[in-house]
Chains A and B, each alone.
Chain A
Amino acid sequence: MSILAIETSKDRFALAQGGMGEPGRIPMTRITLGSAVLRGTVVTALMASLMPTSALAAPPVDLSKWSPEYVRSIAGTQDFDTAADCAKVTPLDYKGRLTFWYQGVFEGDPDLLRQYYKDFFETFRKTYPNIQLEEQALTYNDLLDKFRTALLGNAAPMAVRLQILGGTEFASKGYLAPLKPEDVGYSTEDFWPGAMKAVTWEGVTYGIPTNNETMAFIWNADIFKRAGLDPDKAPATWEDVVKYSKQIHDKLGIAGYGLVARKNAGNTPYRFMPQLWAYGGGVFDEATANPTYEQVQLDSPQSKAALQASYDMYVRDKSVPVSALTNQQADNQPLFVAGQLGMMISHPSDYNVMLDLQKKATGTDKDKAQTVIDNMRYGLIPTGPDGKRAVVFGGSNIHILKPEYVEGGKVDEPAAKAIICMWTSPEWSLKMAYAGSNPGNLNGFKTKWMKERLDNIKFLDVTTSMLPYGIPFPALPQAPEIMNIIIPDMLQNALTGAMTVDEAADDAAKKVKDVMGGL
């Protein structure tokens, strides 16, 4: 059964939030959760659909009760001693050397997050003073390409943290060494079952999830109001998004919805796939409980309807940024901040970025920035015409490379396990995801830092609420090619008029079949 088919439009997720009255004050969010998620039985079925059988054994948190209230109830209920836990994996006096690549945080990221990354590496060096760590941060869009090139020259690092899409690709090509949570002192059940799927290839686990997140929807209440829309009500369906976007554009002359269609940028599938799944489409059957990936569905009527919605916004209504074909989320954010964009799918970190912009603004800009934050409203991602709601279950995984692909031909496994144990610990998997994601290790939700975060960043209530709707990308080695190239190509072909919507969808389906070796 499709997990998308569980929820209907009758669900009553009503999110409304007040504004922020003063700098630095977090707006209060009132979240009235509707029937679907709160109904234990339904959610149990929903979450179970993402779980392997073994995962049903004893997860540290009760996923069937998943709701903001439940998350709040478990936050701060357990203490963890990371150093003591990791000492059981790799002794704290272990002497070794480790090369490590990861998707880093940089100048544009929230200060809070950058501080936690800095703290992590300082703490690791203090905890393991005899491990010589050579870490290298890479940007989101560069990591996969650079890693691929390094592998070709056998110049890869010993350990790497990749975005969720990468795990299966590199595991299937034989670059990664088997690695499961038990190897670093944790249990498989400590992690989101959907995330574990993304690091499993042909029954073998090749990595450990560090963080997992789902996105949410944000809109500018002032723009909604001026366009004649209810400022506190998110578009309920994707059809509403198309309608609202046109209304905003027609009345105010600005972009309504923040469509992105840039090629080879992870932002594009993260924003189009929720739409595709909500309409009942998909690349394969990845939105079902037990996907087989045997039949391509990109050319289905549902998939075409989703593509048609993007076409309507970009071509027919011209209600999205004209630069959408080359935009990624980093281009939408300035538009949103400038009041030139009405609504968009938002990464959990966006809210903190805006707080940072306000904090660093000077003079009258400070008040203007505050107004932007006051006008920010956030809610669940809209549903499809049949009430289906979906979001990409994103995140990152951490892996150990096989020695033959590593610079120097050797992997210091204990050193690699030490950093992996620490990063995936309840403490650090929460801290490293503090402002922009969720802990990969479910025990992270029980830490005191989670409690602190819930008090400080209300926006994350919404993104956390989206977690049960999360659908992992197909756990296939071809997934990066499909998601980062074929899907954006399909969008671009339709939106530029190079092909009709039907032709673009058919063409994409054919390309997927080709990539999959003639499905």
Chain B
Amino acid sequence: MSTIAETASRAPTRRRMRVDGWRWAGRIFLVFMLLYTALPMIWMLITSIKSGFAATQFPPQWWPDEPTLASYQKLLDPQNSVGQDFLRFFWNSLFVSTVTTILSVIVAVPAAYAFSRFSFPGRNFLFFAVLLRNMFPAVIFLVPLFILMRAIGLVNTHGSLILTYLTFGLPLAIWLLKGFYDNIPVQLEQAARIDGATRFQAFIMIVMPLSTPGIIATAIYSFIGAWNEYIYAYTFLSKNEQLTLPVGIQRFFSENTTDFPGLMAASFMMSVPVVVLFLVLQRYFVRALTEGAVKH
């Protein structure tokens, strides 16, 4: 009896210890990951408030002896050429990314719904065909797309970027949204139809509200993809007034020197919209990723 009792009393302890060990390992891992992802951002921020000389010192100044906001003032001052350019690049990126996102959602929502709900000849083939574009490295399409854009007169326009980003972003958006629609019980729409709604009304009034997290996740994906894209923007645009931020911040690199504080300040400011967008909408984003992943 005593043996059984001892065993019974010891067993939970061992189990708890085992669970605690994993938990601590998990916590350590998370802290490590947090540092891994956050430290570069923190270092970027610290460098951005240093002078050019302080930014190159070794051992590094972990916190600048003389913090300065000069780089930010320069970037945000529309009176000087650096500020003018930066603000213009910022606006261009915002415009291209927003239009890409809106168009992406407008096209992906009905397309994904159709793939999810309708049976038509070649449905599976078409569904995988839209993904074909994403199975190749982006750089393969660089020159052909450039020549195509040139032929249709879109080189040096933001239209060339929006069109290109859609060709990349749409397949992913359709794939993501289809998974989401698959999880919305078709019976809900059928009930709406029995109550007299048309298919379109059922889609707008029943399916759309339920798929909001998926649509938001898709929008975030599209926005981030367009916001950060470099190689196509670099190739298609050559006029200063049209450049987007990822290309524009190259101006901090020169032949023989780099303006590190300016570069870091510009990079930090470039990351702000994406971070804010993600923080505000993250609960939808995570929900969409998890809900779209499994079928009920």
Contact = CB atoms under 8 A, between A and B. Distances in A.
Contacts of A140: 254-255
B209 to A, nearest CB: 45
A273 to B, nearest CB: 16
B259 interface: yes
Interface stretch (B38-46, B89-97, B214-222, B233-241): B233-241
Interface string A112-153: 000000100000000000000010111111100010011011
B155 A153 contact: yes
A362 B250 contact: no
B3 interface: no
Contacts of A157: 238
A362 B65 CA distance: 9
A349 B259 CA distance: 14
Contact of A107 (B57, B58, B147, B259): B259
Interface in B69-114: 70, 81-82
A106 B254 contact: yes
Interface stretch (B7-15, B47-55, B272-280): B47-55
Q: For chain B, give the interface size range.
A: 35 or more
A353 interface: yes
A247 interface: no
B240 A137 contact: yes
A107 B252 contact: yes
A333 interface: yes
Interface residues of A, number: 54
Contacts of B22: none
Nearest to B74: A107
B262 interface: yes
A358 interface: yes
Interface string A318-348: 0000000000011101110111100000010
A357 B81 contact: no
A356 B155 contact: no
B65 A136 contact: no
A340 B65 contact: no
A461 interface: no
Given A140-B255, A334-B56, A134 B146 contact: no
A7 interface: no
B146 A152 contact: yes
Contacts of B239: 134, 136
B253 A361 contact: no
B66 A106 contact: no
A329 B53 contact: no
A203 interface: no
Contacts of B234: 142, 146
The 8 closest A-B pairs by CB, nearest first: A334-B56, A140-B255, A153-B150, A363-B66, A338-B58, A107-B259, A362-B66, A361-B53
Given A153-B146, A337-B56, 13 more contacts: A104-B251, A106-B253, A109-B254, A140-B254, A329-B256, A330-B254, A333-B258, A338-B56, A347-B255, A349-B257, A350-B257, A360-B70, A365-B57
